[in-house]
Amino acid sequence: MPKDKISGIKMEDGKIFHYGVRVGMLDFKIFSIIFKEADRLIGPVVGTIIYNAVKKQTAESANAIFETTGFKIKEGQKFDDKTIESFLKMGVTDLMSQFGWGAMELTEFDTKEGFIRLCVKDSVVADSYDEEQDKPVCFFIAGMIAGGAGALLGKGIECREVKCKACGDGHCEFVIEADLKEGATESK
C-alpha cells in the first residue's frame, strides 16, 4: 500500500471511521498545551494517567479493529521472532506511521530476553513542544504502543520512552519488556 494512503477509512456525515472505530483529526500543537496545563494543575502523575488511559483505549480500539477485519490470535499462540516482527509491523508501526504519529520502525527485538525497541522519527507529540523539555513527553505514544502491542500479542505489555526528541535527542525511542516466550494470554 502506498505510504500516502490510509486503508480502512470511511467518512460519513462529518464523521471519520477507521475499521469501524470513530477517529478525528486535530492540530498536533494541542498535545503540548494539554500536557503542560495538566502537569501544572495535577503534577507529574499526569503522564501516568494519560499513558494508562491511552493504553486502555488503544487496546479496546485494536480489538474492535481485529473484530472488523477478522484478525484473530489463536489461544495459546506461540510467538517467535518472525511472528512478533510481522504482528508489530502490521498492527503498530505501520498504523501509527499512517496516522501521522511519526515514522515508526521496529529496530530491535529479542524474544528470549523479552525486549523490543521501537524508534519514532518526528513524533507528533515531541514536535508539538517549542522548547526543550527535561523529561520525555511522549507518554501518549507509549500508551498507544503498549495497548496496541498488548492487543496484538494477547499480553499485558508495558512500554517506556528512553529517548525523546523534545529532550534534544535526534528521535524518540521506546522499549517494551515483556515475557514473549510463552503462549498468548488475556491482555489487560
* pLDDT for 91: 66
pTM: 0.80
The secondary structure of 72-99 as a DSSP string is: -PPTT----HHHHHHHHIIIIIHHHHHT
Say if residues 139 and 131 touch (Cβ distance below 8 Å). no
* pLDDT for 175: 95
Q: Which domains does the chain have, with CATH numbers?
A: 9-177 (3.30.1380.20)
Query: 139-153 and 46-69 helices cross at what angle (nearest 10)?
Result: 40
Residue type, 85: E
Average pLDDT by consecutive 10-residue portion of the chain (188 residues)?
62 85 83 91 93 92 75 65 72 76 86 83 93 94 90 84 97 86 45
CA-to-CA distance for 67 and 52, rounded, in angstroms?
A: 23
* pLDDT for 43: 92
